[in-house]
Amino acid sequence: MNFIPVQLGLLDPLYKLFGWILGVLYSWIGSYGLVIILFTVGIRLLLMPLALKSQRSSLRQQLLVDEVNEIKRHYGNDQQRVNEMTQQLYKENGISMTSGCLPMVLQLLLIWPVFYLFRSPLRWITNVSVQNLRNIAGLMQTHGLMTQAEVNNVALMDIPVLAGLRDSGTVLEQSVSNGWITLDKLINTNFLGMDLARTPSWNPLNWFGENWRVELPLVILILITMITYFIQMKIMRNSRPRPEKTKEEKRRDKANPAKRGQEADTGSGMLKSMNYIMPIFMLFTMFRMPAAMCVFWFAQNIVYLMQSMIGYQYYIRPLRLSYERDQAQYDRSRPAEIADGNRPSKNRKSKDKKKREKRSLMSVIRGDGPRE
């Protein structure tokens, strides 16, 4: 079974919807680059409330790491009981495991159609039929403008047709006279001196060769896009409800028999995976697809930066302030306890501190506590 046509058939309604939106925007604006930016920003803004809700749920889950580890320590190898108690704990604290997965699933559903829209703008954005694309591609092959492989793949990638129509007046005239395409169906892919229909080259020799005015701007765009991604990831690493443990604290936890086999922050492992997987995925798509994909990633990263700053201001910062207040209150209470001769044991003191901290942090994340 041919997998790609099946995918196209199942997602045709989504492609047609996105293509219609991009087509309307292009007819109004006339700039392919601006259309991609507006489309991406609009989609991400629609999903932002759901993403912020997911971030809030993730913060709640991070605050319960100690309780989850305590359940694992208490029930030992009874994995079924551990799962039941963990689920009950999450339910009592209003945490839905599906809320964290839903934004990622929706993001994949959005990215997948974008791959094909940017590879086939004539088919999906200006609605040139597949049969007419094949007719034009066959004509271009007779003029040496397309290979047989490109002709066979024209339903999935019509960028070569767009480039050929732009470069050959003869083919364009014949295609228009045969009724295969009209001039208003052609898309101007030039944006800020870059050809967004061109696929960036992997070869550094091409970046600085004779054609550097075409190749180098596309590579610079990729570089800027990756910089925005790493800035976003840095903000995410700093977006923790409590300060990250020092190396000494991690060493003590590792040496503590009671904490062996327990997980630290579950979000940190996922974040580390993203640090490796996402840059590779982004680079792969940007060097294997038309440069329009670079503009898409760039616009998406900018919206993610906005989302991260909003999440920090309304979720992370109140939690940090609450943590600092609890820490300061605990530090002030220690001399009084020692002076009265009522200094609690180390274990009890640590548990009381964690309870106060957890109660205060959870009250803020639920919206009960103060925000400063």
Of the listed ranges 152-161, 242-251, 360-369, the least confidently predicted one is: 360-369
More confident residue, 91 or 194: 194
How confident is the prediction for the chain on average, in pLDDT? Answer: 77
User: 36-40: long-range contacts at Cβ-Cβ below 8 A with a sequence spacing of 24 or more?
Assistant: 36/118, 36/196, 36/292, 36/295, 36/296, 36/299, 37/295, 37/299, 40/295, 40/296, 40/299, 40/300, 40/303
Residue 88's Cβ-count burial label (10 Å; 0-12, 13-18, 19+) is: exposed
Per-residue pLDDT at 5 exceeds 50: no
pLDDT band at 6; cut points 50, 70, 90:
very low
Q: Which residues is 190 bridged to in the sheet?
A: 195
Instruction: Report which residue type is found at 21.
Output: I
Tell me: the pLDDT tens digits for 304-349? 888 888 877 777 777 767 766 766 665 566 555 444 555 455 455 5
Instruction: Report which residue type is found at 24.
Output: V
Average pLDDT over residues 59-85: 78
Distance of CA 171 to the CA centre of its chain: 41
Q: What is the pLDDT of residue 372?
A: 45
Q: Which residues is 194 bridged to in the sheet?
A: 191
Distances (CA, A) of 356 to 118, 327, 346, 351: 53, 10, 15, 9
More confident residue, 325 or 266: 325
Q: Among 165, 187, 167, 37, which Cα is nearest to 119's?
A: 187
Cα gap 221→200, rounded to integer Å? 10
CA angle 208, 209, 215 (to 5 degrees): 65
Tell me: the pLDDT tens digits for 148-185? 998 999 988 899 999 889 888 999 999 999 999 999 89
| Chain position carrying tokens 């960028």 | 159
Q: What is the pLDDT of residue 217?
A: 94
Please say whether the beta carbons of 321 and 222 come within 8 A.
Answer: no
- Any idea what DSSP says for residue 5? H
Q: Among 250, 266, 337, which Cα is nearest to 67's?
A: 266
Cα gap 235→203, rounded to integer Å? 32
Cα gap 120→127, rounded to integer Å? 10
pLDDT band at 223; cut points 50, 70, 90:
very high
The tokens describing 34, both together, are: 């601006």
Range among 9-23, 142-156, 246-260, 265-279 rated most confident:
142-156
- Any idea what DSSP says for residue 144? T
Per-residue pLDDT at 242 exceeds 70: no
Of the listed ranges 254-258, 277-281, 334-338, the least confidently predicted one is: 334-338
Neighbour tally for 152: CB within 10 Å: 11
Tell me: the pLDDT tens digits for 28-49? 998 999 999 999 999 888 888 8
3-state DSSP assignment of residue 190: strand
Average pLDDT over residues 2-19: 66
The whole-model pTM stands at 0.75
3-state DSSP assignment of residue 145: coil
Distances (CA, A) of 132 to 136, 147, 187: 6, 17, 16
Per-residue pLDDT at 122 exceeds 70: yes
Cα gap 130→117, rounded to integer Å? 14
Please say whether the beta carbons of 289 and 119 come within 8 A.
Answer: yes
Please say whether the beta carbons of 235 and 308 come within 8 A.
Answer: yes
